[in-house]
Every structure is written in structure tokens, then in C-alpha cells.
Structure 1
């Protein structure tokens, strides 16, 4: 059964994820992929996400796709029951996933019961195509990427960081540009969308 937990800012939905993990009986090991952050100057959100998992008692296997060969990357994905993919540059992330031929494998593992947790870029690649995110992210960070098709695990397209600095303008422009073309799902930094097979629920962190 498809099980997705998608958000803008993982540290901003810590309690939501804690409740989700309890409901799912999640514990132990998480495969933590910070690769999208390689193309960004600021990566504090990645350290914060690590802290959240550690605080909740998870054992982190931090694994950068860009530093790995294809066989090792595929083996890691195949063996994990809980996959987290961080925020950063969505185009760079997709490029590295395609280089290692991981999209099909991730889809297979999701279908087989693996829980997928995506933050910002990690949430955006759950959609069928990431080109709509070109306003928020720099496409030139992925100079080898020519095909923007992604996981296609959702029929909606997450727009992260709505109303949140420093993304207020770029997020709103994305909404204005694509709202008549795509089923956009805007998320603030305190919201998450939980997908259970064909059910979609947006949740908000309690203040």
C-alpha cells in the first residue's frame, strides 16, 4: 500500500511525523538521503531533519547518492523500509536519482510497503513532472537533466514554503503561473500531506 508523508519543512512538522510514526509502528532504521542539498549554499534544514529523527529514536543511515555507485544505491533503497529524501535543489536531486536508475525501484518499493518521507524537493519529486518548480529552483544546477518526469506517485504537485520567507514571492508566482494547468497543493512549513493509497489528507502542526 502506498504510504507517503510529504512536507515543506520536516523540522516544522515534527509532532505530526511522531504521531504518524506511532500509527505506522515505524522505528529503527531510516535511509536518509541529503543529496538535494549538494546544490544549495544553506543546508541547515538537513541538520534539523537529522535531529528530528534522532530525537524520535531512529537510527540514521545518511547516504549521498552523488557519492555512490549505482549498485550500492539500489541495494540501499531495496533494503530500507523507511526512506527520507531531503529538500534542496529539485532538479539536481532528480538528475542524481536518474543517474543511479532509482525512480523505478523507489516506485516498486513504495508499492511493496516502504514508507516514503519527502521534504520540499523530496516532496516535489513525488509528482509526475517537476518542471513546474523551475520558478523556485535553478534548473542549471542539473546540467545533465533533460527529462523532468519524476516518481508519479501523486496526482497533485506540491508547492512548498507558501507564505514562508525567503520563498514568499517564488511560491506565489508558481501558484499563479500553474494553477490553471496543474493540480497544485500548496503547503506552509507547518503542514504535511499524508497519502494512504488513494486517500490524501493535509495536516497542520499544532501551534
Structure 2
């Protein structure tokens, strides 16, 4: 297993490029669903453009708009999945509605190239409830449990010191740092998760 988790996809171009060089094909399934309930989604467009600039072909799939069989077929066959940021609780709700958590877990453990940005990074932990300071969980009215994909035994705190999340990221850190193992990152850092542990990488400017 080897996955990349970051706050801001467009801010980690060189690290992402190196990671994706392992791919045989040039096709990525890109899931922007977490942004459906956000007023600002410019970071999604920036992430898409960054991946395209590296020569990758993106199949953009909003999981809220397709049925379970179609999604399972797509996610089973692709070599790389990228899930971008937005509301973590809404994202988890939509993944659970289509019964995709188990499939994601299995595929990542098998060696799928996975990239998670912000919400897409947070769902890799065991439980996402700690992110309630940064994201409004009431938006996901159909979500009845907060269990994540559970392939990373730590908890990502994205956007540390970054506008407009300075206060909520810091408050999350202050509230939970003695309760669960947090890994805070800014917009130019990436957590490389491997079977034996993780490393925080910094984008060279």
C-alpha cells in the first residue's frame, strides 16, 4: 500500500508527479463529490488542471449522480482514484449510500494509487467525527455513523495555518491532540502512507 494525502492538490504538483510516475496508464478517476455542498470549489478546478498539465486523462465522476453498480465497476477497474476536497461528512455519506467504503479499502490494500485531498484525505482514517470543527456535519443528514475507510491509523488535519482555515484547523489540533494521533499539514505538504508507516513530504517551490 502506498497512498498520498494532502490539503491542496494543486499545491503539491512535483510530489504528485513523482508518485503518479508509477502508473502504467494515464487515466485517473477523479471524484469531486465533496465539493457539491461548498460555496467555493475553485480548488477542484485547479487540481483538475494540474493533473491534466502533467499529461493525465481524467474521468470526472460525481458519485452522487450514478448508481452503485456503475460506480463499483468504474472503481474496480481503474489504476488511480483521486478524491478532492469539500465537506468530509457529505463525502462519506455519499460513499456509504453507494456502498463504496469496503471496495475502496480493498483496492487501496491491493495497491491502488490513491490521492486524497482534504476531505479525500480525512476519510482514510478510522473515524471522521474529529473533523466536525472544520466541517459542518449537519449537511450530511443521512449519515448515521462516522467510520471512515480506515487505511491510515492517524488523523489528518489539513490546511494548518492556511486561509480561511487558520482558526478551525488550530482548534481541531488543540481539541484532539491528546485524544487521537493527529497529523497536521499545510497546503504544500503531503502525507505518504505506506504499509510500515507514513512520511510527511514538503513540495519544493
Give the shorter-chain TM-score range. Answer: over 0.9
Confirm or deny: 8 A CA contact 2:23 2:79 kept in the other structure: no
1:178 to 167, 176, 179: 176
Q: How many Å separate the matches in 1 of 2:72 and 2:88? A: 20
State the partner residue of 2:87: 89
What are the residue-to-residue correspondences of 1:140-179 with 2, within 5 Å?
140-179=138-177
Choose the corresponding residue for 1:134, options 120, 129, 132: 132
**Structure 2 residue ranges without an equivalent (≥5):** none
Deviation at 1:176, TM superposition (A): 0.3
The aligned counterpart of 1:107 is 105
**1:34–1:158 Cα change, 3 Å:** same
Deviation at 1:195, TM superposition (A): 1.2
Conservation of the 8 A alpha-carbon contact between 1:27 and 1:57: no
Deviations 1:173-200 (A, max 9, x none): 0000000000000000000011122231
Q: Which residue is 2:14 aligned to?
A: 15
The separation in 1 between residues aligned to 2:128 and 2:191, in whole angstroms, is: 18
Taking the aligned partners of 1:48 and 1:146, their CA distance within structure 2 comes to: 32
2:36 aligns with one of 34, 38, 53: 38
Secondary structure of the residue aligned to 1:163 is: coil
8 A contact 1:31–1:63 mirrored in 2: yes
Q: State the secondary structure of the residue aligned to 2:3.
A: strand
Q: Cα offset for 1:20?
A: 1.9
In the TM superposition, residue 25 of structure 1 has moved relative to its aligned partner by 3.9
Secondary structure of 1:203 counterpart: strand
**SS of structure 2 residue aligned to 1:133:** helix
Q: Using the alignment, how far apart are the partners of 1:108 and 1:194 within structure 2?
A: 18
RMSD value over aligned CA atoms?
0.9
So what's the TM-score if we normalise by structure 2? 0.98
Any runs of at least 4 consecutive aligned residues in structure 1 with deviations exceeding 6 A, and if so which? none
1:5 is paired with a residue whose SS is strand
Q: Kindly state the Cα deviation for residue 4 of structure 1 after the two structures are TM-superposed.
A: 0.6
Secondary structure of the equivalent of 2:12?
helix
What does 1:46-125 correspond to in 2, within 5 Å? 46-125=44-123
> Number of paired residues?
205
Shift of 1:46: 0.4
Which consecutive residues of structure 1, in runs of 5 or more, have no partner in the other structure?
A: none
